[in-house]
Amino acid sequence: MGIFNMIINGQPVKAESTFDVINPATGEPFAQVQAGNATHVDAAVAAARAAFPAWSGLPEAERKRLLHAIGAAIEANMAELMELVTKESGKPLGGLNGIGSGMEVGGAIAWTHATADLELPVEVIQDNDDARVEVHRKPLGVVASITPWNWPLMIAIWHVIPALRAGNTVVVKPASSTPTATIRLVELANTILPPGVLNIVTGESGVGSAIAKHRGIDKIVFTGSTPTGRSIMQNAAANLKRLTLELGGNDAGIVLPDVDPKAVAPKLFGVGFHNNGQTCACLKRLYVHDSIYDDVVAELARIAGETVVDDGLAEGTQLGPVQNKAQLNFVRELVEDAKEHGARIVAGGRVKAGAGFFFEPTVIAEAKDGMRVVDEEQFGPVLPVIRYTDVDDAIRRANDNENGLGGSIWSNDRARAAELARRLECGTAWVNEHGALQPDAPFGGVKQSGLGVEFGRYGLEEYTSIQTLKIMKR
């Protein structure tokens, strides 16, 4: 069993005790990780603060070079990182439609290189005979990253690389159920970066709270549940920390009657079930027009029945286990509640017998607004399909949710679909797609789905403060 240490000021650090990391495909531990505490948070923040002046003062070209070297190191260790991601998160090496740990590590490489090349040029507001007014972007100081268990390595990259690119130093706290790939990432990065620039503290309880309250941290970037995000926001008020919060989503997709059910169903299934539905911007509520409803449901059920569910390390696996037992029980609870309230389970609906936290890919017909499986984020391999007759009503129902991360319209009429998509109350809207992200396009939620954005220039600006410089000429 592997033992993974924290990294503080460039050095491995042990705690007084460790905790187990469970492989969700077997239900058994495969690694032990240090159980850090608030004292380790203090040490990591102190190291980051000490490293900040030199790191923020490096020439832009040098910071870029070092970040590109991190991308190269991830690529050189891709196979090892893929195996760690699969063992801790359960996602297959390949996965449904190629979305698995290979995609996660490959995406981490691509995001690192793309973010390294981002620019924040000086903006000139005025330049005349009276004065020159410039707007400069300056790093904030110490950034804390708190990451979730569903895409552990990818989201760490989404947090860490723009923070470093902007000139900040970083303390990472990964989810306690999926820390190993992120620890290995930080180990690799510390062979490249100066000591203290990137630190990692692991722990089960208390570490996140210590970070949220810490007065030596200037910004927190967090991906996870809305209740936890609210708690972080409350604690961050003590020293007015900057925040980027990417929180829960209950994304709706609306299928118009002009599509071919057999052609659209595989796409809908892919965007609803990749990573076992454990993606913030997965399709989680599917509204289908009455005229094609039965045909779309039948196709989704057929695909679900043919999907290969197994250990993510096994060849040909499309979907792995749910990441943890608590989430498995929650998914089962939502499905049972839907059955009790009149929905039909047309595919799946059961926990798979044997070891691990496996749940069959589940398609729920005759789902209705008001059912828990529709109103709450399932975050599992479950897709409720809701019937509608009027598209304006479908949009109203899609918007009648406290979440607002993503949404989609599916139609052969792209112009009409784009017009309808703009009416969805969400941070990102797609036409004939759902959940596709890219490193140069901003991504973030509205309503209870978050605060701020990530990716591209807009995301990079979130790691900086503005300084206005006015130079008088008279």
> Which pLDDT tens digits describe the chain residue by residue (474 residues)?
899 999 999 999 999 999 999 999 999 999 999 999 999 999 999 999 999 999 999 999 999 999 999 999 999 999 999 999 999 999 999 999 999 999 999 999 999 999 999 999 999 999 999 999 999 999 999 999 999 999 999 999 999 999 999 999 999 999 999 999 999 999 999 999 999 999 999 998 799 999 999 999 999 999 999 999 999 999 999 899 999 999 999 999 999 999 999 999 999 999 999 999 999 999 999 999 999 999 999 999 999 999 999 999 999 999 999 999 999 999 999 999 999 999 999 999 999 999 999 999 999 999 999 999 999 999 999 999 999 999 999 999 999 999 999 999 999 999 999 999 999 999 999 999 999 999 999 999 999 999 999 999 999 999 999 999 999 999
**Helices and strands, counts by H and E, the chain:** 15, 21
Residue 468's φ and ψ, nearest 5 degrees, are: -95, 130
User: What does pTM read for this prediction?
Assistant: 0.97
Residue 126 is predicted with a pLDDT of: 98
Q: Which of 302, 351, 298, 305 is nearest to 328 (CA)?
A: 351
Q: CA-to-CA distance for 219 and 436, rounded, in angstroms?
A: 27
Using DSSP bridges, classify how beta strands 406-410 and 131-139 pair: parallel, antiparallel or unpaired.
Answer: unpaired
The highest-level CATH class for domain 2-247+447-472 is: alpha beta
Provide the pLDDT for residue 205. 78
Please state which CATH number belongs to domain 252-431. Answer: 3.40.309.10
Which DSSP category does 439 fall into?
T
Which of these, 430, 293, 313, 305, lies nearest to 365 by C-alpha position?
Answer: 293
* Residue 177 contacts residue 245 (beta carbons within 8 Å): no
Q: Please report the pLDDT score of residue 204 as a whole number.
A: 84
Q: For residue 1, what pLDDT is reported? A: 83
The rounded distance, in Å, linking the Cα atoms of 382 and 378 is 7
Please report, for the chain, the start and end positions of each structural domain, with discontinuous segments joined by +: 2-247+447-472, 252-431
**What distance in Å separates the CA atoms of residue 220 and residue 143, rounded to the nearest whole number?**
6
**CA gyration radius for the chain?**
23
Burial pattern 316-326, b for ≥16 Cβ within 10 A else e, equals: ebbbbbbbbee
Distance CA 239, CA 46 (A): 17
Q: Do residues 102 and 94 make contact, with C-beta atoms less than 8 angstroms apart?
A: yes
Positions marked active-site: 246, 280
CB 248 within 8 A of CB 449: yes
Distance CA 4, CA 80 (A): 14
Do 2-247+447-472 and 252-431 share a fold?
no
Q: Is 474 exposed, middle or buried (0-12, 13-18, 19+ CB in 10 A)?
A: exposed
Closest CA to 351 of 365, 333, 371: 333
Rounded CA-CA distance 235/116 in Å is 31
